[in-house]
Structure 1
């Protein structure tokens, strides 16, 4: 099952970096970006996180919160956030419940081996709690800029 533009954003509550907790309840009435990445401190995920960090002031200026989500345990996420000075919340979805609710926990294949993992995806959720935009199978280059353009158009 995967969510589409116009659908209500699936509810979540997850522990996040810097002792925070992110949840749909706390974000109620505010637009936000939820981006799913496969693994903290890997090259693609680091590039993506740093691009969102660089654009963070602009997102904040237009009233949009950025939240990164991975299945990594919190200690690994904390280390990643500190190493790259990532100040926006990075949430731990170890149970993969949230990833499954958003349809991004998928079968992948590497060197002929099949396994379950996160499909790099981003969701822009509007102030009414509806999914305004979906990006699946994200290519990291220029992605934060694309998301910013869509966020500005909200």
Structure 2
């Protein structure tokens, strides 16, 4: 009986993961919703404004469910390891979450997560996630794990949604590189 429960649980997790991939939100070419919100970089508060960031080139906006959870910590760490490569290709990385927002100052400076290498936005009430169709289906007040590449002109070039955090960096980095070569993400 225990083995059947394990198989059923694995099936449910797999179904949720597939549903998450299938729900990648805004389509390529769609104008990215503008937003301005409280953020932290290396523990220091500031206001992040997407329009201002786009003046410097493309922006990777990656939504994650909650600070200081295992998958989100891994994803933040992977982005922090690759942030210099994103910068080499002219892109800014910004993390956005509606979960555990009171922990973002520490999350932004922790070397096991962002390490002060990129900013994270506090999405109180999941307002931004809702605009980007990036709400976590099983916990609608939190952000889904969805990553976007927004062109300097403010349109979506690439969207990727998967609860598994391991491919978000490669997916978005490939899309940023494609922008340089005039290809769609």
Question: How many angstroms apart in 2 are the aligned matches of 1:132 and 1:31?
Answer: 9
Q: Does 1:27 align with 2:57?
A: no
CA offsets 1:34-89 (integer angstroms, 9 cap, x no match):
00000101110001000000001111111100000001465400111222213201
Q: Which residue in the other structure is 2:148 paired with?
A: 123
Q: Does 1:9 align with 2:32?
A: yes
Deviation at 1:6, TM superposition (A): 0.7
RMSD of equivalent CA atoms: 1.8
Q: Which residue in the other structure is 2:12 paired with?
A: none
Larger Rg: 2
Normalized per residue, the structure richer in strand is 1
Question: Could you list the runs of 5+ residues in structure 2 that have no partner in the other structure?
Answer: 1-24, 180-185
TM-score, normalised to structure 1's length? 0.88
SS at match of 1:95: helix
Question: Could you list the runs of 5+ residues in structure 1 that have no partner in the other structure?
Answer: 109-114
Instruction: Find 1:105's aligned residue among 135, 146, 166.
Output: 135
Aligned residues: 148
TM-score, normalised to structure 2's length? 0.74
Normalized per residue, the structure richer in helix is 2
1:76-87 residue pairs with structure 2 within 5 A? Answer: 76-84=103-111, 85-87=115-117
Instruction: For CA contacts below 8 A with separation 6 or more, give which structure has more relative contact order.
Output: 1
